[in-house]
């Protein structure tokens, strides 16, 4: 969109104004995330520049303090278990949903996606009541159950998206050649939709690993997760260890989600379609 030579003065102003506005908005979007990273290397417990010196003491605190390590440990256990359960359930459901002639697909889909739409606080309160009744509150299994409910919509959406435009004659061909349903899935369908399954799984992992509201309600001091530890850290006494934890989380989710993006592009390229 280069400025044409015959542009009027007003158009010129608009041309530069638009770029200025866009630059300011981009600045607003990216700077808060970039600025927190250097602060985590501050040698003093302050949150302002210029920094008196550099140190790794907040990272040391993060990696060697028992509170942070216990929280990290719980988070990893919960997120990995959630990913396994959510990916399996979500993928199987997406396979069913994308069959032609699935009855009331829109309705069922809205139902399965609901945990993503309903405000977290509502899910959290309900889970607090219900999981306390059935004895799952304050347990890691309860956390996995809750996080799986919140994470499966992401798997369902990604895998369903990968399955649109899936050539069903391939499965029919496999079946006509004598493969049963399970073999057809593992040998024909899965290799083709694997990028979708992996991105869904990564989304599930990130959802669980970042989730704090439900964790605040249904986890105890022993089963607290990393985000819960961060949240109470900010509320009670803000220590720069939180910036170290935040930096690590930014790094971690950027790596994971770059992987998702690369997988998505590869999937589009391989199948020669442009998913809109």
Binders of another protein among 60-89, rule CB under 8 A?
A: 89
Subset of 201-260 contacting another protein (CB under 8 A): 203, 206, 210, 212-213, 216-217, 227, 230-231, 234-235, 238, 242-243, 246, 249-250, 253-254, 257
> Segment near another protein (CB under 8 A), from 62-70, 72-80, 102-110, 190-198?
102-110
Residue 38: CB minimum distance to another protein, A: 11
Number of other CB atoms surrounding residue 102 within 10 Å? 12
Residue 220: CB minimum distance to another protein, A: 13
Number of other CB atoms surrounding residue 169 within 10 Å? 9
CA distance 39 to 46: 8
Residue 71, classed as helix, strand or coil, is helix
| 122 makes contact with another protein (CB under 8 A) | yes
Subset of 161-200 contacting another protein (CB under 8 A): none
Residue 68, classed as helix, strand or coil, is helix
Yes or no: say if 196 and 154 are a contact pair by the CB < 8 Å rule. Answer: no
Q: Alpha helices, DSSP H only, in 134-225?
A: 140-163, 168-176, 181-184, 190-210, 213-218
Residue 185: CB minimum distance to another protein, A: 10
CA distance 75 to 256: 16
Residues 199/205/207/210 CA torsion (nearest 10 deg): -130
Residue 262: CB minimum distance to another protein, A: 13
Q: How many residues bind another protein (CB under 8 A)?
A: 90
Q: Which residues contact 255 (CB under 8 A, 6 or more apart)?
A: none
| 151 makes contact with another protein (CB under 8 A) | no
Subset of 25-64 contacting another protein (CB under 8 A): 25-26, 28-30, 32-33, 35-36, 39, 47-49
| 158 makes contact with another protein (CB under 8 A) | yes
Q: Kindly tell me the sign of the dihedral angle through the C-alpha atoms of 217, 219, 221, 226.
A: negative
Closer to another protein by Cβ: residue 54 or 234: 234
Yes or no: say if 264 and 159 are a contact pair by the CB < 8 Å rule. Answer: no
| 111 makes contact with another protein (CB under 8 A) | yes
Closer to another protein by Cβ: residue 102 or 186: 102
Among 65, 77, 128, 179, binds another protein (CB under 8 A): 128
Among 70, 72, 108, 140, binds another protein (CB under 8 A): 108
CA distance 190 to 97: 16
């Amino acid at each position: 969109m280069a400025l044409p030579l015959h542009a009027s003065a007003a158009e010129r102003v608009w041309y530069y104004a638009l770029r200025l506005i866009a630059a300011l908005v981009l600045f607003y979007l990216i700077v808060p995330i970039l600025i927190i990273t250097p602060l985590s290397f501050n040698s003093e417990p302050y949150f302002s520049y210029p920094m008196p010196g550099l140190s790794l003491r907040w990272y040391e605190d993060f990696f060697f303090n028992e509170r942070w390590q216990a929280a990290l440990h719980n988070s990893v256990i919960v997120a990995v278990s959630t990913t396994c359960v959510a990916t399996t359930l979500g993928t199987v459901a997406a396979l069913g949903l994308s069959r032609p002639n699935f009855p009331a697909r829109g309705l069922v889909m809205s139902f399965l996606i609901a945990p993503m739409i309903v405000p977290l606080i509502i899910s959290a309160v309900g889970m607090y009541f219900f999981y306390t009744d059935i004895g799952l509150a304050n347990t890691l299994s309860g956390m996995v159950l809750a996080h799986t409910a919140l994470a499966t919509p992401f798997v369902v959406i990604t895998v369903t998206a990968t399955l649109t435009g899936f050539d069903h004659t391939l499965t029919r061909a496999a079946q006509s050649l004598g493969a049963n349903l399970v073999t057809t899935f593992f040998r024909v369908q899965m290799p083709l939709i694997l990028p979708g399954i992996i991105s869904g799984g990564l989304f599930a992992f990130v959802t669980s690993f970042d989730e704090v509201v439900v964790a605040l309600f249904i986890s105890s001091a022993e089963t607290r997760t990393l985000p819960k530890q961060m949240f109470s850290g900010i509320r009670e006494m803000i220590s720069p260890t939180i910036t170290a934890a935040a930096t690590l989380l930014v790094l971690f989710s950027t790596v994971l989600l770059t992987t998702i993006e690369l997988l998505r592009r590869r999937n589009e390229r391989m199948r020669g379609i442009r998913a809109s």
